[in-house]
A and B are shown apart, each in its own frame.
Chain A
Amino acid sequence: SQKIEQNSEALNIQEGKTATLTCNYTNYSPAYLQWYRQDPGRGPVFLLLIRENEKEKRKERLKVTFDTTLKQSLFHITASQPADSATYLCALEEGSGNTGKLIFGQGTTLQVKP
């Protein structure tokens, strides 16, 4: 069966460290993978998109990798800050064209302690 899995346990790290979140998937062959941030009581906010032919994408302190052989994406936040505390969702594309849709993982909650 198709699955997209993120670590359901919260990730607690110290301010200034690098946070690494994992997104694994099975029985999908996505051309695109996206990462979103969700704060309590709010809608998800887009962070980064990576294509299947891209190994790595960066945006400021954020870095995403996409390994289609391992069927895994890693999301890194360097020099983490308490303001980075939130739930991070990965989402991959299922289908293609106008009927393509995003399938979301359940998210990993990150807590950055000062």
Chain B
Amino acid sequence: DTAVSQTPKYLVTQMGNDKSIKCEQNLGHDTMYWYKQDSKKFLKIMFSYNNKELIINETVPNRFSPKSPDKAHLNLHINSLELGDSAVYFCASSQAGQGKDEQFFGPGTRLTVL
């Protein structure tokens, strides 16, 4: 059983398109996250949700809109894709939204914007 799953694994699209990435966790955790890992391998938090409520929004352009239909799912919708959005996006979850909890990461979605 995969703890944190994401779909799709790869996403190749043209500039200006809108795309979504889905994430699900079966760990019963209350908090979910989206991270972006750029070409230099820096992993940066974008959003966190606790029990479907937005907790952290890290000055991400409002073209990025997370949605949490329930606490096991956190999807990421991106409008008007730009070249600079190309990166690997990771979903993660933890029991509580604090730095004292280990985080469980999904396998990542490699987004390529042409």
Mark A residues whose CB is within 8 Å of B. 30-32, 34, 41-46, 49, 51, 87, 89, 91-104, 106-107
Q: How many residues of B sit at the interface, in one of the four size bands?
A: 20 to 34
Cross-chain contact B104 with A46 (CB below 8 angstroms): yes
Q: Apart from A42-B108, A96-B98, what are 16 other A-B pairs with CB-CB below 8 Å?
A: A30-B99, A34-B99, A41-B107, A41-B108, A43-B92, A43-B107, A44-B90, A44-B103, A44-B105, A49-B102, A98-B96, A100-B97, A100-B100, A101-B97, A102-B103, A104-B42
- Cβ contact within 8 Å between B105 and A106: no
Docked Cα-Cα span, A71 to B99, in Å, equals 17
- Cβ contact within 8 Å between B100 and A44: no
* In the complex, number of A-B residue pairs with CB atoms less than 8 Å apart: 68
Given A43-B90, A106-B41, A101-B102 contact (CB < 8 Å): no
The interface-forming segment of B13-21, B48-56, B65-73, B74-82 is B48-56
Instruction: Give complex CA distance A92, B100 in Å.
Output: 9
Contact of A93 with B108 at beta-carbon distance under 8 Å, contacts A43-B90, A98-B55, A101-B45 already known: no
